[in-house]
Amino acid sequence: GEQGAEEMENGGSKGDVPEDANAHCPGTQSEEAGKADSCAGCPNQQICATAPKGPDPDLVAIAERMATVKHKILVLSGKGGVGKSTFSAQLSFALAEMDHQVGLLDIDICGPSIPKMLGLEGQDIHQSNLGWSPIYVESNLGVMSIGFMLPNPDDAVIWRGPRKNGLIKQFLKDVDWGEIDYLVVDAPPGTSDEHISIVQYLQATEVDGAIIVTTPQQVSLIDVRKEINFCKKVGVPVLGVVENMSGLRQAFTDLKFVKPGLAGEIDATEWAMNYIKEKAPELLSVVACSEVFDSSKGGAEKMCHEMGVPFLGKVPMDPQLCKAAEEGRSCFADQRCSASAPALKSIIDKLIKTNS
């Protein structure tokens, strides 16, 4: 009750009252902050007097922009190089193929790989009176990335946190997605500045949740645990974990063979294939599988069980998927990604079921 009485005396405090504030503090958001008589000598006086007042007006603009977006999905990873952008790209292709309207937003400011993975390198962003127009792969799949804004694709983006956050805010505020079903956000690895920003900016507009991509090794899983705890702390639901590069699967006929010799290796592929055709043709229809990473500790599935988050499934390492990503193609469009496409498909179906 005492607090209430004091607030009445302050005319109801506006905003937070710092712990070391003077008595009768008007509150940090009040028009009087830093200027009232009671502020004299307070250690916060200077900050209060100069800080911008009221809620961040940009957040209102972001909320308005995001009102036309039904579902927002973040794609995160604890460490780099686990195939997060590949997954974001293929997820977007798959959703678009299901006739959803999809937007893909790349907030990896220093390493934007999305333009290449959607076959959009060298495109420029156009501005209209409605804002920045995304670049469209299909009529129902639009993409936005800092990669489109660099005059030279080899230029490094050497920015400190505030400038990155400013761009992320601008992407959320100014990109004209129109009415879309899904916005997929491809984030940089880790739990740093950009992640806190995107969550903070989207907080008012309800994020469906995050998909976390990992590889099977312990080194990657250690970092995924951090990512899961980040999501729990900032209140973003974890939609599930995807184990990417989960062993290598390759048609036997795609394998190369070498013969080690004293003078170095000799390519023996042609010889081996002819030998197999002649002596064991049944082998030509099998798929070679290899556990590339040590998964003796149970991999991502076991970790999900321990941490109480959904495990969405495994995607094998598939050279054809790498090729599709490099060429900016959907892995679902043809039969080439026979190892990875079905795995990705079942993960995405699982997601849509639980998420619609």
Query: Is 309 inside a domain boundary?
Result: yes
Task: Name the domain boundary from 237, 270, 290.
Answer: 290
pLDDT at position 15 is 65
The torsion angles phi and psi of 288, rounded to 5 degrees, stand at -85, 130
Q: Is 256 left (phi over 0), alpha (psi -120 to 50) or beta?
A: beta
CATH number at 132 reads 3.40.50.300
Verify that 216 and 94 share a domain, yes or no: yes
Task: Name the domain boundary from 290, 309, 344.
Answer: 290
110 is an annotated ligand-binding site residue: no
Verify that 148 and 274 share a domain, yes or no: no
Q: Which residues of 67-78 are buried (b: 16+ CB within 10 A; e: fewer)?
A: eebbbbbbbbbb
Verify that 242 and 257 share a domain, yes or no: no
Verify that 137 and 169 share a domain, yes or no: yes
Verify that 48 and 190 share a domain, yes or no: no
39 is an annotated ligand-binding site residue: yes
261 is an annotated ligand-binding site residue: no
Verify that 306 and 269 share a domain, yes or no: no
Tally of domains in the chain:
3
pLDDT at position 14 is 62
Verify that 271 and 161 share a domain, yes or no: no
Verify that 228 and 315 share a domain, yes or no: yes
247 is an annotated ligand-binding site residue: no
Verify that 141 and 48 share a domain, yes or no: no
42 is an annotated ligand-binding site residue: yes
Verify that 163 and 186 share a domain, yes or no: yes
Overall size of the chain counted in residues: 356
Q: What is the C-alpha to C-alpha distance for residues 174 and 170, in angstroms, rounded to an integer?
A: 6
Q: What is the C-alpha to C-alpha distance for residues 8 and 32, in angstroms, rounded to an integer?
A: 16
Query: Is 142 inside a domain boundary?
Result: yes
Verify that 282 and 308 share a domain, yes or no: no
**Would you state the structure tokens that stand for residue 202, as one six-digit string?**
């989207």
85 is an annotated ligand-binding site residue: yes
Query: Is 18 inside a domain boundary?
Result: no
Query: Is 23 inside a domain boundary?
Result: no
Domain with 285, as residue range(s), is 249-290
pLDDT at position 333 is 94
Query: Is 267 inside a domain boundary?
Result: yes
Residue 329: partners with Cβ closer than 8 Å, 6 or more residues away = 119
Verify that 315 and 234 share a domain, yes or no: yes
Task: Name the domain boundary from 290, 313, 345.
Answer: 290
82 is an annotated ligand-binding site residue: yes
User: From residue 290, how far is each of 192, 252, 259, 295, 317 by CA, in Å?
Assistant: 34, 12, 20, 12, 10
Query: Is 331 inside a domain boundary?
Result: yes
331 is an annotated ligand-binding site residue: no
pLDDT at position 8 is 44
214 touches 300 (CB < 8 A): yes
81 is an annotated ligand-binding site residue: yes
Q: What is the C-alpha to C-alpha distance for residues 35 and 26, in angstroms, rounded to an integer?
A: 9
Q: Provide the 8-state DSSP code for 247.
A: S
Query: Is 12 inside a domain boundary?
Result: no
pLDDT at position 10 is 45
Query: Is 266 inside a domain boundary?
Result: yes
119 is an annotated ligand-binding site residue: no
Q: What is the C-alpha to C-alpha distance for residues 89 and 77, in angstroms, rounded to an integer?
A: 15
Q: How many helices (H) and strands (E) does the chain have?
A: 12, 14
Q: What is the C-alpha to C-alpha distance for residues 145 and 107, in angstroms, rounded to an integer?
A: 7
CB atoms within 10 A of CB 174: 15
pLDDT at position 356 is 65
What are the 10-residue block averages of pLDDT along the chain, 356 residues in total? 48 67 83 85 84 79 94 96 97 97 96 95 90 96 94 87 92 95 96 91 89 95 95 95 94 91 92 95 92 87 96 96 96 94 96 80
pLDDT at position 36 is 86
